[in-house]
A and B are shown apart, each in its own frame.
Chain A
Amino acid sequence: MKKTVVNEATMAFLSRSSNESFARSAAACFAAQMDPTLNELEDIKTAVSEAVTNAIIYAYPNSIGTVYLKMRIYQGNLLEVTVRDRGAGIADVERARQPMFTTGGEERSGMGFTIMESFMERVTVRSAPGRGTTVVMRKCLSARPKAGAGI
């Protein structure tokens, strides 16, 4: 069954590190209409931060490129966040997703994908060397009764 899209927003920004906080805040602002719990909001922010940071660091290591962030709300309080780049790509996605695997040196921990996986329900990664990477993350938010909706 195809799920109905309730709302959608797309943005594109340059792969500058100052956009990391911009991107995760934008995602949290968009998700706010789903009436998330504070924990859910933090989960979304953190997962988006990880995916966007990867695009900024690894997709365009010696240049500035464009990072695309798409947020979709499906019926049933399901949030889908897509982070896409047209950069370097990942040769071995399975290996890249392993905890502690990093090509980023001592300032990176290799825990980015692990955190995305633990804070979102489903994370899929499509990538091709030289073509870019697409990370799709889904999370079903707890349906809470709207404030003031009566009991």
Chain B
Amino acid sequence: MEIQEKVGERALVLAFSGEMDHHGARDTLRRIELAIDAAMPRTLTLDFSGVTFMDSSGIALILRSQQRMRFLDGTILLCNVPRQARRVLEAAGITRLITLQD
């Protein structure tokens, strides 16, 4: 899986592309944590527009990112979540915990 980083004024956008499964997400958690620690953002946006498939491996990434942002007193947003990933988030009840944007 690829991650593109955009760092703004206390805002960090991480745009993912590829398959967010156990195989595709192997080193992704560490890369997210490193990016957050370097940028220290108030807002973290995870852009899912390039995610072609997601299973519960993606949920772990989202929840860990949320924990990290809570620790920084910041917020997390998901945007451009494709239908398949959105349905996985809904099934797991994540859409009640995290804001999804278009």
* Chain A contacts to B: CB under 8 angstroms: 17-18, 20-21, 24, 39, 42-43, 45-46, 49-50, 53, 56-57, 99, 106-112, 114-115, 118-119
Smallest CB separation, A13 vs chain B (Å)? 13
Give the distance in Å from the alpha carbon of A56 to the alpha carbon of B55 in the complex: 15
Assuming A46-B84, A106-B29, A114-B92, is B23 touching A21 (CB within 8 A)?
yes
Q: Which of A18, A42, A50 is the one whose CB lies under 8 Å from B84? A: A42
Which residues of chain A have C-beta atoms less than 8 A from B64's C-beta? Answer: 106-107
The prevalent SS among residues of A at the interface is: helix
Count contacts on B: residues with CB < 8 A to the other chain: 23
Contact (Cβ within 8 A) B91 A118: yes
Roughly how many angstroms separate A99 CA and B57 CA in the complex, as a whole number? 14
Q: How far is the CB of A105 from chain B (nearest CB, A)?
A: 9
B63 contacts partner chain A, Cβ-Cβ < 8 Å: yes
Contact A107 B19 (CB under 8 A): no
Contacts of B26 in A (CB 8 A): 17
Ranked 7 nearest A-B pairs via Cβ: A17-B23, A109-B60, A109-B59, A118-B91, A111-B56, A49-B55, A111-B92
A contact residues around B88 at 8 Å (CB): 46, 115
Q: Is B22 interfacial (CB-CB < 8 Å)? A: yes
CB contact list, B63-83 vs A, under 8 A = 63-64, 83
